[in-house]
Every structure is written in C-alpha cells, then in structure tokens.
Amino acid sequence: MRIYLDHNATTPIAPSVLEILIAAQREQFGNASSVHSFGQIAKSLVDDARASVASLIGGRPQEIIFTSGGTESDNLAIRGVAETAASSKRRRLIVSSIEHEAVLNTVKALGKVGWSTTFLPVNDRGIVFPEALSEAITDDTALVSVMHANNEIGTVQPIPELAGITHRYGALFHTDAVQSTGKIPVSVDALDVDLLSLSSHKFNGPKGVGALWVKRGSRLAATMTGGRQERNRRAGTENVPGISALGAAARLAEKKLATRGERATAELRNRLETGVLANVPGTVLNGNGADRVPNTTNISFDRVEAESLLIALDLEGIAVSTGSACSSGTLEPSHVLRAMGLSPHRTQNSIRFSLGLDNTTAQIDHVIKIMPRIVEKLRTLSRSGSPVRS
C-alpha cells in the first residue's frame, strides 16, 4: 500500500482537471493575444478560468493576475508594491517570521537594497499576535505580508485583524494563501486583504501555474516586463492549458467547499492525529489549540530524528515530510517551529502529515497501526545521535 500524506508539498491532479489540461494542450494551441479565432478560443479559456478563480476567493475576474505559481505571486506582490512605493516615503516591509521562503527571502533581498524590514514573532501555537503588528507598524510602512495558513503546522492566522491594523496606517496587506485556498473557504472581502497569492498544484491542479489577486485600485508594478498580457501586470504568453486547468481545479474546490467537503478531510486528519498521539509514546502535537487548516498535523517524536523517520516511513510506502527544510540536504531546524520557541530537539524531531482528497480511512488506520513499531525500531536500533567521541 502506497500512502501519500504530503499534500502540502503538492497534490495529485484531479482526473477531471487533467482531462481539461490535456484537451487544451492538444487542441487549443492558440495565443490568447492573437486576434484570429485560434486566439479567441484561447482567450475564452483564460477568461473562463479567471472567472472561476475569482469566484473561489470571492474576488472580481479583472482582479486576477495569472502567474507561474505561488512563488511568483508572492514575488509580484512584494516587489510590485515595493516598486510603486519607492517614490513615496514608505520604506518599510513587515512580514511574519513563519512565512514561506518565497516571502521571507524576497523581503530579505529587498532589505539588502535599502528597505527596512520587520519580522513579526509568533506565539507558541504558531499564531502572529496582532499586538506585535500594532507595535511594529509605522507610518512609513508600505506593505504587511502574513500568510493565511502556515505550510508546516497549518495554523490559520488572524488575517482580518492584522489587515485592519495595516489599513489604519495606510499600508497594503498581502496574504500568501497558497496553503489555505481550496482547503478552507477563502474570501478576500472577509479577510480584508489587498493582495492574495494562490497556487494551482496545492489543490489538485497542475504545477507551474498560480495567481495573484490584486484588489481593484491597488497600485502594483509589473516585475515581469514585456508584452501587455494580464492588464500590463504580468508579461509573457499565457500558459493557456495550465490556466484553464487551474480554473477547473478552482471550480472543483469551490464545489467541495460548498458541500463542506473539507470536513471529511478534517475527520481523517483528526483520526490520524488522535491515533498517533495515543499509540506512539513520546509524541506531542505542534500548533495545538490553534485554528488550523483541516488537512495538516505536525507531530514531534521524542528520541527520533525526523530524517530517519521520514525514510523509514517511505520504505513502508508512506510519504510524509519533515518540519525541517532538509530537502536540499541541509539540516536547518524549521524556522517555523523555532519561531514558536520550541526546543531544537523538538524542531528536529517533527514530522508533517498533510492529507488530501485521495486519502481513505483504511490508509489512515494502516498508518496508525504500523507507526508504533517503526518508531520503536528507530528508537532502539538507531541510537539517535551516536555518542560523540573526543
């Protein structure tokens, strides 16, 4: 049995979405900017998708800019706002300390070219507290960016409150909603944000396509310059098949959310979480007590290196990820868990399970069943941290 529990990394494309992707790729090769009928058909596919994506987040179609994915959307939001603000007195960017690297490293890069940057702390549940923003924000703040749901622990941030504070200082508010879109209802009005990033492959769409929603009237400079696509805000020939498939994924997600389909995922997640915490000794839930997206759980396993547990689980056909960003081979403790004030030990022993539409009760029960044995084996046979010799 192969069990995929890493949906926050990416999700399998939904069969109906795949059909649309293939059909567009095969048959609709027209350039959406072309005047002729080939172009018109392509353009209508993009327009349909724009309406679907806007509908999913409660925005207007003309407020959607299609991009290559979440990272580009984050870059466009931050760099695009920064560039328009460059001529004003606003020289400060504020983000949370648990943002995705796409936000963190973009802001750090701008910090090196003269921008003042502030990284907001989080509490031990992984929540940005609004008081911290109230203290940090200044009249010269151009943009505040706080993610909607965290990718590692799934905590949902108090975006409306944070956005309200931001607006009182006349600054713009961006949220990276890559990990919440499609998982929970997302409404740009309710969130009160000015910019919102989303990514197709996190909710059963294809990779390489995403969107940035920009509230009508917000000033934003293009970071990708060239042709006049996307209302002059994102140059380059549209990825028509990808965009069309993103639209299909958005419609699928909206339909699922309309029938509260996310509750099934929450039930499975809770079953997994309760089962692992009850059956494996020495486990602790990270982000406990906070509002979380329904598909994510992050658990620390005492006396087990997360890296070893990930491999041992993979050898059993179970795909999870570590809280640490060690895909590149560097073992940096998770900046998210560190920001929550967790001990280095606990940050290095954490595993993220993230569920999706394809998971079943039988799969979750299988994981709960074999988990104690795997962890016990690692604890007894594989001495975590072999003795250091002088």
Partner 1 sequence: MRVVAAMSGGVDSSVAAALLADEGQDVIGLSMQLYDQREGDIKFGSCCTLNDLHDARRVASILGIPHYIMNFERQFNENVVSNFVEEYTAGRTPIPCVRCNGDLKFTTLLDRARGFGAPTVATGHYARVVQAEDGSYLLKRGLDATKDQSYFLFTLNQSQLACAKFPLGTLQKDDVRLYAENRALPVARKPDSQELCFVPDGDYATFVERRTTKNPKPGPIEDIAGRMIGSHTGVHRFTVGQRKGLGISSSIPLYVTALDARSGTVTVGPRHELERSTLHASDVNWVSGNPPPTNYRIAAQIRHQHRAANATVSALDRGRARVDFEEAQPAITPGQAVVFYQDETVLGGGWISSSD
* Lookup: tokens for 361: 């009760």
DSSP per residue, 93-155: EEEETT--HHHHHHHHHHHTTT-EEEEE-B-TTS-B-HHHHHHH--TTEEEEE--SB-TTT-B
Supply the minimum distance, in Å, between the C-beta of residue 119 and partner 1. 20
Supply the minimum distance, in Å, between the C-beta of residue 340 and partner 1. 22
Supply the minimum distance, in Å, between the C-beta of residue 153 and partner 1. 22
Q: Are 292 and 153 in contact (CB under 8 A)?
A: yes
Give CA separation, 202 vs 54, 58, 159, 250, in Å: 17, 19, 20, 11
**Cβ proximity to partner 1, 168 vs 377, nearer residue:** 377
**Rounded-to-integer distance, Cα 302 and Cα 282, Å:** 5
**Cβ proximity to partner 1, 258 vs 388, nearer residue:** 388
The residue to which tokens 């890493």 are assigned: 6
Supply the minimum distance, in Å, between the C-beta of residue 173 and partner 1. 32
Binding site for partner 1 (CB under 8 A): 307-308, 311-312, 314-315, 326, 328-331, 377-378, 381-383, 386, 388-389
Active site residue 271: no
**Rounded-to-integer distance, Cα 65 and Cα 230, Å:** 6
Supply the minimum distance, in Å, between the C-beta of residue 379 and partner 1. 8
- Neighbouring CB atoms inside 10 A of 29's CB total 12
> Nearest CA to 298 among 247, 233, 226, 347?
347
**Rounded-to-integer distance, Cα 337 and Cα 298, Å:** 10
Q: CB under 8 Å to 115, separation ≥6 — which residues?
A: 82, 91, 92, 93, 107
| Cα 315 to chain centroid, rounded | 27
Q: CB under 8 Å to 131, separation ≥6 — which residues?
A: none
Supply the minimum distance, in Å, between the C-beta of residue 122 and partner 1. 25
Strand partners, 285: 299
**Of the residues 109, 326, 366, 382, which is catalytic?**
326
**Cβ proximity to partner 1, 19 vs 314, nearer residue:** 314
**Rounded-to-integer distance, Cα 8 and Cα 5, Å:** 9
Supply the minimum distance, in Å, between the C-beta of residue 107 and partner 1. 19
**Residues with catalytic roles:** 326
